[in-house]
Amino acid sequence: MLSSPFRLPASSIKHAKLLSSLPQEPMLLRALGAQQKHQSTVDPQDVQKHTDLKSQWWDTTGPMKALHSFNHVRIPFIRDGLVQIPVKERTTTPLCGQSVLDVGCGGGILSEGLAQLGAKVTGIDASKELIELARTHSAGNTKLQENQPTYCCCPIEEHAPAHTGLYDGVVASEIIEHIDNDKKELFVKSCLDTLKPGGRIFLTTPTRSSLSKVTVVYMAEYVLNIVPRGTHDHSKFMTPTELTFLLERNGCHVEMVLGLCYNFVTNRWTFTKNTSLQFALQAVKNA
Ligand SMILES: C[S@@+](CC[C@H](N)C(=O)[O-])C[C@H]1O[C@@H](n2cnc3c(N)ncnc32)[C@H](O)[C@@H]1O
């Protein structure tokens, strides 16, 4: 059976039982609270798998090619969610004046695209080597001379406390499926903490479905060898309903969920009504 991110993990149930059976000993309770506070969303093995792809990160024909071509649809999706002015009145840098946090930015593929549209981008990632790569690559990008993203090696739960209510937009593209199910709530809550009231969060992720098990995992990793084997753990994927539920119970309203389809042959992404393979979600933080 697939583990659901919405069922309390066994450790939390044990923790709750332990707490209720304990005498009200303040020091012990404080220690348990502190232990929970120091939970990490980082799965070191997963982050290492991404770090191992460092030398191929910016190769548009390599294992990251789908993330490169994904920019053609995800950047307009994010832009249109953040910019509420008519297309005719927009400049070539419509995100000018908007601060955007790119959570799990890797080598900076999406951060650079958003900065080119004028956004003041902060990219964070748990991999030190990928953050170094992102910094070096952006420094060499002539289109970003006037607007370099800022990069920081740090998981979201460590970034959030010092950056509460700071960003107009938070982007978490192709990362929540790499977060353990019992850490997803901490991940979402930390992302939302950094957002201004009325700010928007954008997430893209593969859907947990039989179709994605066959295509995103089996086809891509074992038949076509587009991405290295073991990149994805299907039991960590979410459905649009689960992600909507998680976001809304943490203080925001889901405005849009769109299905996405990836053509392995043409390396092109398209939006579709069907969310059974992959989806993009936009939500606004309650004021
Ligand atoms: C599939 S890559 C996506 C990169 C980027 N978002 C993009 O779409 O171009 C996932 C990234 O998330 C990072 N990551 C995984 N867990 C993380 C966490 N808890 N905090 C920050 N980064 C994390 C990994 O190191 C990796 O670079």
DSSP 8-state assignment for residue 56:
G
The H or E element spanning position 157 is helix 156-159
| 24 Cα: distance to centroid of ligand 1 (angstroms) | 40
Bridge partners (DSSP) listed for residue 172 = 203
The reported pLDDT for the residue numbered 228 is 80
Q: Which residues lie below 8 Å from residue 43, measured CB to CB, with a gap of 6+? A: 178, 179, 180
Q: Hey, how many other C-beta atoms are within 10 angstroms of the C-beta on 218?
A: 14
Summarize the annotated binding site for Mg(2+) as residue ranges: 174, 177-178
> What number is the average pLDDT over the span 187-205?
98
| 285 Cα: distance to centroid of ligand 1 (angstroms) | 22
User: pTM of this prediction?
Assistant: 0.87
Matching residue, tokens 């849009």: 256
Cα distance between residue 178 and residue 167, in whole Å: 23
Summarize the annotated binding site for S-adenosyl-L-methionine as residue ranges: 74, 104, 125, 173
Q: Which residues lie below 8 Å from residue 204, measured CB to CB, with a gap of 6+? A: 70, 74, 173, 174, 260, 278, 279, 280, 281
Q: What is the pLDDT of residues 120-148, one digit of tens each?
A: 999 999 999 999 999 999 999 999 999 99
Q: What is the pLDDT of residues 217-272, one digit of tens each?
A: 777 877 787 778 878 888 999 999 999 999 999 999 999 999 999 998 999 999 99
Band of the pLDDT at 196, cuts 50, 70, 90? very high
All domains of the chain in start order, with CATH:
8-38 (no CATH), 42-285 (3.40.50.150)
Name the more confident of 282 and 90.
Answer: 282
